[in-house]
Structure 1
Amino acid sequence: MAIVGRHGYVEGRVQGVGFRQSTAVEARRLQLSGWVRNLPDGRVEISFEGEEGAVHSLAQWLEHGPSGARVVLLTLRERPVQDAPGFEIRR
Structure 2
Amino acid sequence: MPITAVDYNFLNLFDMHLQAVYGVHQNTACNNHKHFKRVMNLAVSMRYIQKSPYYQFKTKPAHASNVSNINKSGAKRQYFY
* Higher helix proportion: 2
More relative contact order in 1 or in 2 (CA 8 Å, sep 6+)? 1
Question: Do these two structures clear the TM 0.5 threshold for a shared fold by scoring above it?
Answer: no
TM-score range, shorter chain: 0.3 to 0.5
TM-score, normalising length: structure 1: 0.30
TM-score, normalising length: structure 2: 0.32
